[in-house]
Chain A
Amino acid sequence: MNTVNLSQLLKRQDLWQGTSGLSHDLPHVKSGFHQIDSQLHFNGWPLGHSIELLCDGLHIGELPLLMPALSELSQQHRWIALINPPITPYAPALQAAGVDTSRILIIRTQDDKDLLWATEKALSTGTCSAVISWMHNSDANNAQLRRLQLAAAQSDCLHVQIHNSDQAQKASPASLRIQLNATETGTELNVIKQRGSAAGQHLDVALFSELRDEQQPPQQWPLFSDSIHDAANHSLIDEGTAVAATALH
């Protein structure tokens, strides 16, 4: 065998080489969660690769997981394309997480064809630092997903596809596939595929932990009101909070 040709082949990033082929210092963005960065072969979310997040339910738990990365990527002068999110993300929450909301580009498509087209264009034009596509209603086949993977490979952006959990049983060209499950403290991540390394990692990532600690009700909370009434003299303990206090127990 011609060893020169073999060495050239081994340099190709798109050639699967078991656990040793893919370099650890590939372009990536820190996920903002130590557990994820340390367990993933890429040391964070890989750039220029398709990532699949598989989950059930409302398909809205994934975004907080990506928020620290989006915050970093929004510093680039490029779009963060959110394609077909089930609900429009709330800008004040994005801003609070450090995301520059002027970089956010929400795209709504009518059908699968446009969804795939918009995703591919967002990847191939090089105008986006991140492309997140909600594909839970999509019937994209393997060839179409492969096409997106190729478009991602030619870009330097974070490409995340969000699918239903039942897609886990199907083959996918994505470099990284993670199953997400909601837990009482946040999200559980099961890595079902990662190119260049073994899969099977189970991670528990705490999300909004400051909100999950149950407070002792009722308690004074900052009053955000532009009422002509004097806020200091306005008691929070009234009918509404009384009902709430009952509900808290």
Chain B
Amino acid sequence: MLWVAIRLPYLQVDTLNNEQVIDPHSQVPEPSIAIYNNSKRIIQASSNALEQGVAEGMSMATARALCEKIQLLPERIDAPLDALRSLQLFSYRISPHSTIEAPDSLFIEISSTLKVFDGLDSILAIITKELAKRRWRHHVSVGLTMRAAALFSHCAQPPFLTPPSVPTQKQQQRAINQLAINQLQCSSKTILSLSKIGIEYCDQINKLTADDRKRTLSEDFNQYWQSLIPSGNQTRPTFTPPSQFQERVEFLNTINSANGLLFVCNRLAQNLGHYLIAIQGHTCELLWQLHDIEGNSLDIHIATAQPLQQYQPIVELTRLKLEPIKLKQPIDALTLVCDQITYDQQNQQDLFSRNDQHTPAHLLNLLAARLHEQAFFSLDIQPQHQPELAQTAVKAGSTESVQANEIALPPRPTFLLHNPPPLKMIGNQLCWRSPIKLLKGPERIETGWWFIPINRDYYVGQDQEHRLLWIFFDRLKENWFLAGVFS
């Protein structure tokens, strides 16, 4: 087995910093932040706070004295775990074997995917690129066991990374032997007892026989020491992604404009994209929830004409949805929910099966996001004699391809008026804007006797402005109407 350990010791702060709406290209300095626990002691601090002398274990008053503009925030218990879960979801693209170790570590077993990714260096490059994108301070290491990888992640310069190489068992043992015992992940009591018997380096433990170790060292330490050495009975945990995606981001400072949310939306959409790719699923529906400072939430639904998987169209549609929104209250949290996931391969096909960068459905998605659902539609032909009923407006993309009718029908106008205006009869002359000369007709349409009967005689006429008109005489109402216009 080959394990990659990712240790994220500053997740409390880094997730806050990352959730800030900071344009990565702007010159605005990142805020100085420190997190305190229930005992009012500092447990984590941002890089610039650390540079100003703020340190772990310090009181809040001391931190404030050292850094005037520091923002002191309470510990968020769930935040590191949520962040680790999000990263685990990302790691699912690399390997299905991973596990989280609270409060700050993720382990990925990659021996089965080394060849797929063309070696260890490629996998490490993918991981570090993602961590850099998330702007999480991190320590990455590799080891032949999970505990060995965890141990190396605490080293200032973890072995086997420069250049990345898969260690042999001997190489790993040699690397462990060089470590001081206080680097081992044991209790301070164990470390103290080791130093009392004169052990300063791991090499000295390695030189002890198994019997000596059992006799002189505690059972817990022996188990830990064994866990550093590869053996055939290592278990490999399997990660199963959750059945729905939900991620919430809380802001350090409230956001007053919908456009200000885009940076965070982009990141959440990327995480959703990772999730969908990981589970090989697609979605047609997602929900943004904008939580304001008064506890109200504004729901923004996005429905797409075609199942989506990549995050870019999600970001584009979100931008279009957010553009017209004017926030009534500042927003202090944002949630993205996606619980409508399809695994149906047929749904992944384009509407018209065209292998383009953008499918026809892409335009519908954009229109739905910017305009409203009724603002665009397609036309469907109905087998009805009554001209007004022979056409219906239908949801765009919902109709099948229609070929021209082989049976020649009487002429139909290019535009049909849904509320036919009555025509005037001046003497024996029909008029609509100007006198109409009848050219063809009649075509009788008599139908609807079981519902709303119609009985009409249709004619083609031309007015003095050379417009070709379709008019009818309603035999029930005994009046003339303009039905449509040819040209």
Instruction: Say whether A19 faces chain B, with CB atoms less than 8 Å apart.
Output: no
* Best-buried of B411, B428, B440, B445 by chain A (most CB within 10 Å): B440
**Roughly how many angstroms separate A102 CA and B416 CA in the complex, as a whole number?**
18
CB distance A105 to B439 under 8 Å?
Answer: no
CB distance B487 to A182 under 8 Å?
Answer: yes
CB distance A92 to B409 under 8 Å?
Answer: yes
**Beta-carbon nearest neighbor of B400 in chain A:** A102
**Roughly how many angstroms separate A228 CA and B487 CA in the complex, as a whole number?**
35
CB distance B358 to A91 under 8 Å?
Answer: no
- The interface-forming segment of A30-38, A123-131, A194-202 is A123-131
CB distance B404 to A98 under 8 Å?
Answer: yes
**Roughly how many angstroms separate A86 CA and B404 CA in the complex, as a whole number?**
25
Give, as a whole number of angstroms, the nearest-CB distance from A102 to chain B: 4
Interface string of A183-195 (1 = CB under 8 A from B): 1101100000000
- Contacts A95-B404, A101-B381, A207-B487; is A121 near B360 (CB within 8 Å)? no
CB distance A127 to B414 under 8 Å?
Answer: no
Interface string of A88-108 (1 = CB under 8 A from B): 111111111110111111111
- Contacts A95-B405, A104-B379; is A187 near B367 (CB within 8 Å)? no
CB distance B446 to A108 under 8 Å?
Answer: no
CB distance A106 to B393 under 8 Å?
Answer: yes
Give, as a whole number of angstroms, the nearest-CB distance from B323 to chain A: 10
* Best-buried of A101, A102, A213 by chain B (most CB within 10 Å): A102
CB distance B390 to A92 under 8 Å?
Answer: yes
Interface string of A218-249 (1 = CB under 8 A from B): 10011111111000000010111101101111
Give, as a whole number of angstroms, the nearest-CB distance from B457 to chain A: 5
- The interface-forming segment of B255-263, B285-293, B462-470 is B462-470
Instruction: Say whether B225 faces chain A, with CB atoms less than 8 Å apart.
Output: no
The interface residues of chain A lying within 8 Å CB-to-CB of B362 are 125, 127
CB distance B376 to A105 under 8 Å?
Answer: yes
CB distance A93 to B414 under 8 Å?
Answer: yes
The interface residues of chain B lying within 8 Å CB-to-CB of A244 are 438, 441-442, 457, 459, 473
**Beta-carbon nearest neighbor of B360 in chain A:** A127
- Contacts A102-B399, A127-B358, A246-B428; is A77 near B353 (CB within 8 Å)? yes
Give which listed residue, B370, B378, B379, B443, contacts A224 with CB less than 8 A. B443
- Contacts A100-B403, A107-B376, A221-B444; is A243 near B473 (CB within 8 Å)? yes
The interface residues of chain B lying within 8 Å CB-to-CB of A98 are 404
Q: Which of B362-412 contact A (CB under 8 A)?
A: 362-364, 366-367, 370-371, 374-381, 385, 387, 390-391, 393, 396, 399-405, 409-412
CB distance B391 to A91 under 8 Å?
Answer: yes
CB distance B468 to A90 under 8 Å?
Answer: no
Instruction: Say whether A24 faces chain B, with CB atoms less than 8 Å apart.
Output: no
Interface string of B257-287 (1 = CB under 8 A from A): 0000000000000000000000000000000
**Beta-carbon nearest neighbor of B357 in chain A:** A126
CB distance A247 to B412 under 8 Å?
Answer: no
CB distance B457 to A63 under 8 Å?
Answer: no
Give which listed residue, A91, A118, A218, contacts B371 with CB less than 8 A. A118
CB distance A211 to B363 under 8 Å?
Answer: no
**Roughly how many angstroms separate A79 CA and B459 CA in the complex, as a whole number?**
33
**Roughly how many angstroms separate A67 CA and B413 CA in the complex, as a whole number?**
13
CB distance A215 to B440 under 8 Å?
Answer: yes
CB distance B415 to A95 under 8 Å?
Answer: no
- Contacts A109-B375, A125-B358; is A247 near B487 (CB within 8 Å)? no
**Roughly how many angstroms separate A247 CA and B378 CA in the complex, as a whole number?**
38
Give, as a whole number of angstroms, the nearest-CB distance from B400 to chain A: 6
CB distance B370 to A92 under 8 Å?
Answer: no
CB distance A222 to B410 under 8 Å?
Answer: yes
CB distance A95 to B402 under 8 Å?
Answer: yes
- Contacts A90-B412, A244-B457; is A215 near B393 (CB within 8 Å)? no
**Beta-carbon nearest neighbor of A228 in chain B:** B449
Give which listed residue, A60, A78, A122, A247, contacts B352 with CB less than 8 A. A78
CB distance B443 to A90 under 8 Å?
Answer: no
**Beta-carbon nearest neighbor of A65 in chain B:** B487
Q: Which of A22-42 contact B (CB under 8 A)?
A: none
**Roughly how many angstroms separate A90 CA and B483 CA in the complex, as a whole number?**
11
- Contacts A61-B487, A90-B415, A114-B371; is A224 near B410 (CB within 8 Å)? yes
CB distance B379 to A94 under 8 Å?
Answer: yes
**Roughly how many angstroms separate A139 CA and B454 CA in the complex, as a whole number?**
43
Give, as a whole number of angstroms, the nearest-CB distance from B455 to chain A: 8
CB distance B438 to A247 under 8 Å?
Answer: yes
Interface string of B421-439 (1 = CB under 8 A from A): 0000100111000000111
- Contacts A125-B366, A182-B467; is A101 near B360 (CB within 8 Å)? no
Give, as a whole number of angstroms, the nearest-CB distance from B218 to chain A: 67
- Contacts A221-B410, A226-B385; is A92 near B391 (CB within 8 Å)? yes
Give, as a whole number of angstroms, the nearest-CB distance from A1 to chain B: 39
Instruction: Say whether A16 faces chain B, with CB atoms less than 8 Å apart.
Output: no
Instruction: Say whether A18 faces chain B, with CB atoms less than 8 Å apart.
Output: no
**Roughly how many angstroms separate A98 CA and B438 CA in the complex, as a whole number?**
27
Give, as a whole number of angstroms, the nearest-CB distance from B150 to chain A: 49
**Roughly how many angstroms separate A246 CA and B447 CA in the complex, as a whole number?**
25
Instruction: Say whether B13 faces chain A, with CB atoms less than 8 Å apart.
Output: no
**Roughly how many angstroms separate A127 CA and B351 CA in the complex, as a whole number?**
11
Give, as a whole number of angstroms, the nearest-CB distance from B216 to chain A: 73
CB distance B475 to A222 under 8 Å?
Answer: no
Give which listed residue, A77, A81, A89, A109, contacts B414 with CB less than 8 A. A89
Instruction: Say whether A6 faces chain B, with CB atoms less than 8 Å apart.
Output: no
Instruction: Say whether A21 faces chain B, with CB atoms less than 8 Å apart.
Output: no
Give which listed residue, B363, B381, B411, B437, contacts A79 with CB less than 8 A. B363
CB distance A225 to B404 under 8 Å?
Answer: no
A-B contact pairs, 23 of them (CB 8 A): A58-B485, A67-B414, A87-B416, A89-B414, A91-B379, A91-B381, A93-B416, A95-B381, A96-B405, A105-B377, A107-B376, A118-B371, A127-B360, A207-B486, A207-B487, A215-B440, A221-B441, A222-B410, A236-B442, A236-B444, A240-B475, A241-B457, A244-B442
6 closest A-B pairs (Cβ-Cβ)?
A77-B352, A91-B379, A90-B416, A87-B415, A182-B466, A225-B446
B residues with CB within 8 A of A:
352-354, 356-360, 362-364, 366-367, 370-371, 374-381, 385, 387, 390-391, 393, 396, 399-405, 409-417, 425, 428-430, 437-447, 449, 457, 459-460, 462, 465-468, 473, 475, 484-487
Given contacts A64-B414, A108-B376, A215-B439, 18 further A-B contacts (CB under 8 A): A88-B415, A88-B416, A90-B387, A91-B391, A93-B411, A104-B378, A105-B376, A108-B375, A114-B371, A117-B370, A121-B367, A184-B462, A211-B411, A211-B486, A223-B444, A224-B385, A224-B410, A241-B442
